[in-house]
Amino acid sequence: MLQAAREASGKTQAQVAKEIGITENAYQKYEYGKREPRARMAVRVARAVNSTVEELFGAATPDNTEEPDGNPVN
């Protein structure tokens, strides 16, 4: 699902990784299902590919309703 969302957003793995502040290799692990991001990172990934945490990872919205910068979680 993550790969499809990324492709639909028109971004490469490298672009998404840079946007969310991780290495391309780390991002690939999320996309290939080898690793799941923690709640805050899942929010960043979802925003980067214009999706939601629920759609991408099947998880509930994190309990924390604000990002570290104070912006609300969508």
> Of 1-5, 21-25, 67-71, where does mean pLDDT reach its minimum?
67-71
pLDDT tens per residue across span 63-73: 544 555 655 55
Owning domain of residue 28: 2-57
Average pLDDT over residues 43-69: 77
Interatomic CA distance for residues 15 and 61, integer angstroms: 24
| Residue 12 pLDDT greater than 60, yes or no | yes
SS3 of 5-67: the string is HHHHHCCCHHHHHHHHCCCHHHHHHHHCCCCCCCHHHHHHHHHHCCCCHHHHHCCCCCCCCEC
Say which residue, 4 or 74, is predicted with more confidence: 4
> Is position 62 within any domain?
no
CB-CB contact of 56 with 1 (8 Å): yes
> Is position 31 within any domain?
yes
Give the number of domains in the chain. Answer: 1
| Residue 2 pLDDT greater than 70, yes or no | yes
Handedness of CA 36, 33, 21, 23 (dihedral sign): positive
Check which CATH number belongs to the domain holding 28 and give it: 1.10.260.40
> Is position 47 within any domain?
yes
